[in-house]
Amino acid sequence: MDVEGDGRKMSEIINRLKSIQKLPACPKIIPQAIKLSQNPETPISAYEKLIAQDPALVAEVLRSVNSPFYGLRNKVSSLRLALSIIGLQEIFRIILNASFHKTFKKTFQKLSYNFDTFWAHSQYTANAAYILAKSFQPEAASEAYIAGLLHDIGLPILEEFFCEEWSDILFLCEEGMEFHQAEVNVMGLSHSDLASLLLEHWKIPEAITIPVRYHHHPQKCKKYKEIVTMVYFADRLAINLMNSSQENVTQEQFEKDDLWFEMLERYPRYRVLENEDFINQIQPYITRKIAVGV
C-alpha cells in the first residue's frame, strides 16, 4: 500500500486492524446494490427483489416515500409503488445510507462525538460528490457517492479501536501539529488509509477505495483522478455547508487551489462555482433528509 509513513508502524497497524473481532462487516446487500447501480438498464423490479429481503429497508423506503418531501396525499404501502415514485437514484442512496448507518451505529459505541453528526458530514460529502459527478462524469456518479459516504470512516475506526494512538494524535494536535501529520507520526498511516483498508477488506472496487484513500491528498493519486478530485472538493463543500460561518468561503477557497484550476483547464464545465446558482442548487439537495442520519 502506498502511504508516506513509517513502514514498520504501518504494518503493525494493518495487522491489528485485521485482527479486530468487532470490525464492521460489509452489509450483505451492498455488493449487490453496487452491481445493480453499475448497469443503467437495471429495472426497478431488481431493486424491489433486493430490498424485499430486508424488512427494515422496506420500512425505510416506505418512511421516505411517505415523508413530507414527496408531498403525497395518500399513504403509500406498496414497495413497488414507493420505488417507482422515489426513482432509481434515490433508491440506491437509501439502500446505502440505511445499511451503512445501521452497521456503523452498532459498531461505534465509544466515540467522543455524536455519530449522527459524523454521518451527516458523510451524507453531505456523498451528495456533493454525486452532484459534481453528475455534471462532469455521470458514469462515475455511483462510485463518487459511495466514496463520499465512506471517505472518513477511518476516523471512528481510529477512535474506537486504536484508543491509545487516538489520544497520542490528539496530544500532538494540541501541541500544534497538523492532524494528518500527527496521524502519520503516531500510526504510520492516516484515517484515509484506514478507511481504504477496511473497504479493500470488504472487496469494494478500487474506483471507490482509491478516492477514499486520497481524499485529503488528491495530487498524490494517478488513478481515478476525476473521482478522487470530486470527493476531495465534495468534502470541502460539505464542511463549508455544514458550518454556516463558512458558507460563503467555498469559491474563494477553491480558487486558491491549484487542483481546481487544473480541473478547470481539463473540464471547462467545472466552472460551476462561477455560477451563483451552484451552491443554491446544491444546498437544498444535500440537506434533504435522505433515509436516516441527518
Minimum Å distance from CB 191 to Fe ion?
A: 6
Q: Which of 87, 22, 86, 91 is nearest to 57 (CA)?
A: 91
Q: Is 23 left (phi over 0), alpha (psi -120 to 50) or beta?
A: beta
Minimum Å distance from CB 215 to Fe ion?
A: 6
Minimum Å distance from CB 200 to Fe ion?
A: 17
Q: Which is nearer to Fe ion, 57 or 146 (CB)?
A: 146
Minimum Å distance from CB 151 to Fe ion?
A: 6
Helices (H), the chain: 7-19, 29-37, 44-52, 55-65, 79-86, 88-107, 115-136, 141-150, 154-161, 163-174, 179-187, 191-201, 206-213, 225-242, 250-254, 258-266, 277-286
Q: Which is nearer to Fe ion, 152 or 193 (CB)?
A: 152
Cβ neighbours of residue 38 closer than 8 Å, sequence gap 6 or more: 142
Q: Is 211 left (phi over 0), alpha (psi -120 to 50) or beta?
A: alpha
Minimum Å distance from CB 28 to Fe ion?
A: 26
Q: Which is nearer to Fe ion, 54 or 235 (CB)?
A: 235
Minimum Å distance from CB 195 to Fe ion?
A: 8
Cα 210 to Cα 62, 108, 111, 181: the distances in Å are 34, 24, 26, 20
Contact 159, 112 (CB under 8 A): yes
What is the DSSP-derived secondary structure letter of residue 23?
Answer: P
**Joined grid coordinates for residue 288:** 434533504
Contact 63, 98 (CB under 8 A): no
Q: Which is nearer to Fe ion, 60 or 152 (CB)?
A: 152
Minimum Å distance from CB 152 to Fe ion?
A: 4
Which residues of the chain form contacts with Fe ion (CB under 5 A)? Answer: 152, 235
Q: Which is nearer to Fe ion, 72 or 239 (CB)?
A: 239
Number of Cβ within 10 Å of residue 281's Cβ equals 13
Q: Which is nearer to Fe ion, 63 or 217 (CB)?
A: 217
